Structure 1
Amino acid sequence: MKRKTFTWHCRNKKLLLGERTLIMGILNSTPDSFSDGGQFYSLEKALEHSLKMAEDGADIIDIGGESTRPGSERVNLNEELKRTIPLIQALRAKNTVAISIDTTKAEVAKQALLAGANIINDVSGFQLDPEMANVAKALDAGCAVMHMRGTPDNMQNLCKYKDLIDDVKDELNQSMTQLLDLGLNKNQLVLDPGIGFSKTAEQNIEIMKRLSDFHSLGYPMLLGTSRKSFIGHILDETDAQERVWGTAASLCVGIQHGAHIMRVHDVKQMAQVCKVYDFCS
């Protein structure tokens, strides 16, 4: 399908969405993320990998200091700040790439934006911390608003839906409406249907088949499928790092259904996949 174009306002950056697929590279500065936990835990390694992702085609570097895999434990504020803020400062000093902070804590988001980040990527849909929306408004941040129920440690107990697509759409729309009512502008907001969050493998597959239904909400779409368990379910592959080409196929499905931004681990490979699909479609 032909994508609608949007301009995403992200502090001092404006990202054009829709003319080509944008790549958001994942940088987990954590010891326990589901696929790459511990790989980029030191500042030196994290910075090196961030710069490599930018060189390989990432339009956005998404930095997180707390794992959101199912059943993951929360980390305290100071630890999350220690894992993320020095990295954002170091990356911003060396590169102009857009930076996203992956957090559910308003204070982490605030410090990240002041350190040079442009975007808040909140897996709770700006629901867990009541101050998050105020931070986004005050600092004019781009906002990636994801669908999730509960928290990462209990979300997989909250997968019962009356009608999966309608319920996810309604809950996302409620999050968006709350943000608009608090004074954010629509051009700051991007939706994420939350693949892998509060959903079974079968439900994730159903959402992938019906991604185009979410365009009726009127926002650009971020899609995060990289190496996730529903791909392992399809492939019968338990090793997340062996799901690269399954991820590639999921990106093609996403572009076919009009998604604008892909959040991925394997930036160089997935940037090639998206570029070829964009060019030939």
Structure 2
Amino acid sequence: MSPPVEGWTGRAHALTFGFPVPGGERAADGWRVTWRGCAVMGVLNVTPDSFSDGGRYASLEAAVTRARAMRDAGARVIDVGGESTRPGAEPVPAEQELDRVRPVLRALAGEGALLSVDTMKPEVAREALAAGAHLVNDVTGLRDPGMVEVCAGAGAPACVMHMRGEPRTMQRSPQYRDVVAEVHAFLRERAAAVLAAGVPSVLLDPGLGFGKTAAHNLALLRALPELTCGPHPVLVGASRKKMIDLLAGVPNAADRDPGSLALHLHAARQGAAMVRVHAAGVHVQALRVQAALEDPTFTPGR
């Protein structure tokens, strides 16, 4: 295993936006949001069929209450998704997806949190950005030229994720010659392409569980320093995924927060800039404690 990245708690990360955003500072190339260490992106699924909490936040009131709770607990980004991308999930029409995410984004706009929309559809991304989203989280890695055009035109950063296949088929015997080399090469190539097309900045996500076995996921987690040493911030999302069941025997997704926490603390110590999680408050607390343990200058109670 590669050694932990030295000084992860003080490591600086940044995203650039083409418009004013919560916590952003004016820079020569737009508005820049900066942070040190590992931030938390809170998952807000407003779908009836998410693998972990499907239907729990499907109403506008429940979704907004949950988003505010995650923000107040310290989540830097709230990621709103209106289409499930769990293995085997069926796609939904764009208008149905928008009917789910647009009211939530409008209700949360101006409340102090960075808002992300989790979508594969350019038309959904465009309307979501108009409704108050600040960045786009695309599990297909912006392979659709239309998505690149939307993000570049709006000045919105994008999360570029690796996925083999599509949600309906991605877990049917995924195979790689060298999963680390292939995934890292894809992410670097897509980052270069979308930045050249005018997208202001990117987060890179190795896509744990998206067309990958548990062995593939572990290889990518162990090789994180090879990705986090690059110029772009890295997002890791292992929250409540099936690999935790395979590693620790936890069949119920809602019971996998301890395993999620272990994987995400590892990712933070390997230089990840952000982790995407369901239990946002738990992760914020754990990351703060981990950072204090590794900071010899930290004074309790200050």
TM-score computed with the length of structure 1 as normaliser: 0.94
Deviations 1:70-103 (CA, angstroms, capped at 9, x unpaired): 110000011000000011000115x120000000
Residue 195 of structure 2 is aligned to residue 177 of structure 1: no
Runs of 4+ in 1 over 3 A off after TM superposition: none
Deviations 1:24-76 (CA, angstroms, capped at 9, x unpaired): 00000001111011100111111111111111111110000000001100000
Equivalent of 1:147 in 157, 162, 168: 162
5+ residue gaps, structure 2, are 22-31, 295-302
Q: Secondary structure at the match of 1:75?
A: coil
Report the Cα distance in structure 2 between the residues aligned to 1:260 and 1:34, rounded to whole angstroms: 25
- 1:158 Cα shift? 6.3
Q: 1:202 to 1:46 in 2, by over 3 A?
A: same
Equivalent of 2:134 in 118, 130, 134: 118
Give the corresponding residue for 1:250. Answer: 263
Report the Cα distance in structure 2 between the residues aligned to 1:183 and 1:268, rounded to whole angstroms: 34
Give the % identical residues.
37
Give the corresponding residue for 1:157. Answer: 172
Report the Cα distance in structure 2 between the residues aligned to 1:226 and 1:269, rounded to whole angstroms: 12
- 1:216 Cα shift? 4.5
Give the corresponding residue for 2:285. Answer: 272
Report the Cα distance in structure 1 between the residues aligned to 2:168 and 2:108, rounded to whole angstroms: 30
Segment of structure 1 superposing worse, 148-157 or 58-67:
148-157
Residue 86 of structure 2 is aligned to residue 66 of structure 1: no
Give the corresponding residue for 2:33. Answer: 15
Equivalent of 2:93 in 76, 80, 86: 76
Segment of structure 1 superposing worse, 76-85 or 165-174:
165-174
Report the Cα distance in structure 2 between the residues aligned to 1:38 and 1:120, rounded to whole angstroms: 22
Residue 54 of structure 2 is aligned to residue 54 of structure 1: no
Report the Cα distance in structure 2 between the residues aligned to 1:248 and 1:56, rounded to whole angstroms: 16
Report the Cα distance in structure 2 between the residues aligned to 1:210 and 1:132, rounded to whole angstroms: 29
Amino acid in the other structure paired with 1:122: D
The answer to whether the Cα contact below 8 Å between 2:265 and 2:287 also exists between their aligned partners in 1 is yes
5+ residue gaps, structure 1, are none
Segment of structure 1 superposing worse, 206-215 or 136-145:
206-215
Q: Kindly tell me the number of residue pairs found equivalent between the two proteins.
A: 276
Report the Cα distance in structure 2 between the residues aligned to 1:190 and 1:20, rounded to whole angstroms: 15
- 1:174 Cα shift? 2.0
Deviations 1:218-256 (CA, angstroms, capped at 9, x unpaired): 211111011111111111111011111111111110011
Segment of structure 1 superposing worse, 59-68 or 230-239:
230-239
Amino acid in the other structure paired with 1:175: R
Q: Secondary structure at the match of 1:61?
A: strand
Residue 121 of structure 2 is aligned to residue 105 of structure 1: yes
The answer to whether the Cα contact below 8 Å between 1:21 and 1:275 also exists between their aligned partners in 2 is no
Amino acid in the other structure paired with 2:95: N
Equivalent of 2:148 in 130, 133, 139: 133
Give the corresponding residue for 1:227. Answer: 240
TM-score computed with the length of structure 2 as normaliser: 0.88
The answer to whether the Cα contact below 8 Å between 2:13 and 2:273 also exists between their aligned partners in 1 is no
Give the corresponding residue for 2:215. Answer: 202
- 1:6 Cα shift? 2.7
Q: Secondary structure at the match of 2:14?
A: strand
Q: CA RMSD in A?
A: 1.3
Work out which of the two has the higher radius of gyration on C-alpha atoms and give 1 or 2. Answer: 2
Amino acid in the other structure paired with 1:107: E
